[in-house]
Amino acid sequence: MEVIDLSENNLTVTISDDFGTLTELSLLSLFSNQLSGEIPESISRLPSLAYVTLYSNNLSGTLPPDLGQYSILQGFEVDQNHFTGKLPEYLCANGGLIGIVAFDNNLSGELPNSLSNCSSLLIVRVNGNRLSGSISAGLWTSINLTLLMLSDNSFTGQLPRTLAPRLLPLEISNNKLSGEIPTGLSSSKNLTVFSASNNLFVGTILQELTTLSQLTTLLLDGNLFSGHLPSDIVSWKSLKTLNLS
């Protein structure tokens, strides 16, 4: 296995297409530089590539569409760049993807279908893009998922009846999600943050939410809720931040 780690320097070059000849490359770490240009498509054909960490650069263009199709991809971090277009469809094609971190880009389109049945996923951070479409039930309920950040996009649709049981923060603010908050949200017993501001949610604020004993932040402002507040809200000891404006 080969590792390339040139992170946290002041590199201002582009990513060379020659990296695509390193068939034993398992980790490509170039984060926190000043790299520009696109990611060479040849990198997506490296069979041993498991981790790609390119965040905090000036990279642009579209992401190679075959990323994950021919490799054993586990970690994919390209946040804080200027990427456009869609997320690669095959990111979890080989079933080993642990995390996708792509926030603060200009990505558009829908989330890849391969994420729907990606039970290995722990982290999904794609906030701060222009992504749209509905989110599959498979992602909402992924058994090992601990962090889901989808805020500041244009996602539509409704929340499923239940959510991933191991979720800690769930951040979906500033989208176009609608419908009611499901009672099944209370099945995510370890939930610490539920941020759903500025969507199109309706109905009442559920009594079941007050059973979330780890929840510290509840942001439901900018929606279309009606009815009464849960009677147990005044004795909700864990809650530190509440916004219903």
CA distance 115 to 201: 25
- Of residues 225 and 184, more confidently modeled: 225
For domain 155-245, which CATH number applies: 3.90.950.20, 1.10.15.40, 3.40.190.10, 3.80.10.10? 3.80.10.10
pLDDT-based confidence at residue 70 (cuts at 50, 70, 90): very high
- Which class would CATH give 1-134? alpha beta
Residues 33-47: pLDDT tens digits?
A: 999 999 999 999 999
What pLDDT score does 113 carry? 87
What pLDDT score does 245 carry? 92
Asked whether the predicted pLDDT for residue 98 surpasses 90, the reply is: yes
Answer for the pair 216, 194: CB distance below 8 angstroms, yes or no: no
Mean pLDDT of the chain: 94
Asked whether the predicted pLDDT for residue 63 surpasses 90, the reply is: yes
Q: Where in the chain is the domain with CATH 3.80.10.10?
A: 1-134, 155-245
Residue 178 tokens, joined: 């609608």
Residues 110-166: pLDDT tens digits?
A: 999 889 889 999 999 999 999 999 999 999 999 999 999 999 999 999 999 989 999
Asked whether the predicted pLDDT for residue 57 surpasses 90, the reply is: yes
What pLDDT score does 233 carry? 85
What pLDDT score does 208 carry? 87
Task: Read off the pLDDT of each residue in 219-229 and give the average, rounded to a whole number.
Answer: 94
What pLDDT score does 229 carry? 87
What pLDDT score does 173 carry? 98
Asked whether the predicted pLDDT for residue 1 surpasses 80, the reply is: no
What pLDDT score does 185 carry? 87
- How many CA atoms within 13 Å lie on the side-chain side of 240? 6
* Ranges 62-76, 83-97, 228-242: which has the least confidence: 228-242
Residues 231-240: pLDDT tens digits?
A: 888 888 899 9
